[in-house]
Structure 1
Amino acid sequence: MPHLYQTDPAWADQPYAGGTVRVNACGPTCLTMVYVCLTGRTDMDPARMSAFADQNNFAPTGATEWSFMTSGANMLGIQSTQIHPTRESIENALAGGRPVICSVHPGDFTSVGHFIVLGGIDDQGMVEVFDPNSPFNSAQRWPIQRILNQTKACWSFWV
């Protein structure tokens, strides 16, 4: 899975949801990582994914709607389903090669609300995190319970 960041100068200042990719596009950036990982295609980057989300009204209030993770993904040819934010559900998805996107509330990753991607989990329950807003957070593994304590909802993806 590629590490993509909202702050990348290639797209950070592009428009999204009444602001910019840098400020508002954690959801589209996460879905871009999953899209590239699952399809092997590179025709979408965070700016294009953000434009796609805006064009299809997935961010009418300035934040990415949860429906983007299901309906938006399906429009791109990616299957997805919302899963229970439990260790078992996440482990099962990741063991099956299905990346997981989590919507998290304020905590380690955000002071407002945020999306992150989980790409793998080891035998000790440490999760590989792809945080679209933080190379620092993405460079370390996180205890699954710490992620779960901050998770509001999550989705798994496959093709």
Structure 2
Amino acid sequence: MKTFSRVLCVCCICAVCSLLLPASAGTFASPAGSAPAEPASGTDYQTVAAGTGRAMPIVMYSQGDPAWGSYLYGGRDPMASHGCGPTALAIAVTSLSGQEVTPVDTARWSYANGYFSPGRGSVHGLIPRGAESYGLKAEKLAAITPDSFRMVLSADKLLVLLMGPGDFSDSGHFIVAYGYDDSGCILIADPASTERSLAVWPAETLIGQLSKTAKDGGPVWVLSRP
């Protein structure tokens, strides 16, 4: 499988999250034996869960997409390196509401409403407040367990996770969980990596790598239709 270069996180101080991505960010991986492909912006991206699994169709965006990867978040920081928050929010809003909301739209909203942090990325409150601004319901997941993940995802809701150091980041990174397979592993949309998005993740692995410094109801938010 064609892979991404390693993702490095700049910093995550208290309520801030950002990523530093290599120049190859936005290149999508393809399954072994198939030709590489570049999905168009907003391509439907769904892993079909078999057996007792459950997955809702979502629209997948990459923060490094050529359509907006060089867009300057807050007028100064490229989306490809600092846009995981707006991109995760755009995935959730577009998938749940049916509105076509791009990462640029959510980045502009974030900046206009004070959720952009220069050089650092996004204030954590971007996820709940941004979701509510687009008409979604946002809640804190109080009991963070594998069973609670699967229960929420069974109800056609999405989880936005703020990850800490580990497989996703050296410090902090927003991803979206949208289902689980028949073994109970979680299906995710990672704004920075199609390779990680194509993998399935034990809920225990994700829970063990959640941010320990999350604010504003994090590190796990439940987003749903009102």
1:112 aligned partner: 171
Which of 85, 99, 122 is the equivalent residue of 1:64?
Answer: 122
Letter in 1 for 2:73: Y
Question: Which whole-Å CA distance do the structure 1 matches of 2:179 and 2:104 have between them?
Answer: 26
1:8 aligned partner: 65
User: Normalised by the size of structure 2, how large is the TM-score?
Assistant: 0.67
Does residue 27 of the first structure (1) align with residue 85 of the second (2)? yes
Q: Would you say the 8 A contact 2:89–2:130 is kept in 1?
A: no
Greater CA deviation, 133-142 or 78-87? 78-87
User: Normalised by the size of structure 1, how large is the TM-score?
Assistant: 0.94
Per-residue CA distance 1:38-87 (angstroms, 9 max, x = gap):
11111x21111111111111123532112111112111111111113322
Which of 94, 97, 102 is the equivalent residue of 1:45?
Answer: 102
Aligned residue for 2:151, secondary structure, equals helix
Shift of 1:89: 2.3
Letter in 2 for 1:142: W
Question: Which whole-Å CA distance do the structure 2 matches of 1:86 and 1:66 have between them?
Answer: 21
CA RMSD in angstroms, aligned pairs only: 1.3
| Greater Rg over alpha carbons, structure | 2
Which of 81, 89, 94 is the equivalent residue of 2:153?
Answer: 94
Letter in 2 for 1:22: A
Shift of 1:8: 0.3
Gaps of 5+ in 2: 1-57, 212-218
Aligned residue for 1:151, secondary structure, equals coil
Gaps of 5+ in 1: none
1:147 aligned partner: 206
Q: Would you say how many aligned residue pairs link Structure 1 and Structure 2?
A: 158
Which of 121, 135, 145 is the equivalent residue of 1:77?
Answer: 135
Question: Which whole-Å CA distance do the structure 2 matches of 1:9 and 1:60 have between them?
Answer: 23
Runs of 4 or more above 4 Å deviation: none
Shift of 1:112: 2.2
Question: Which whole-Å CA distance do the structure 1 matches of 2:124 and 2:141 have between them?
Answer: 12
Identity %: 27
Question: Which whole-Å CA distance do the structure 1 matches of 2:180 and 2:135 have between them?
Answer: 25
Question: Which whole-Å CA distance do the structure 2 matches of 1:154 and 1:59 have between them?
Answer: 19
Aligned residue for 1:64, secondary structure, equals strand
1:157 aligned partner: 223
Shift of 1:139: 1.0
Q: Would you say the 8 A contact 2:163–2:172 is kept in 1?
A: yes
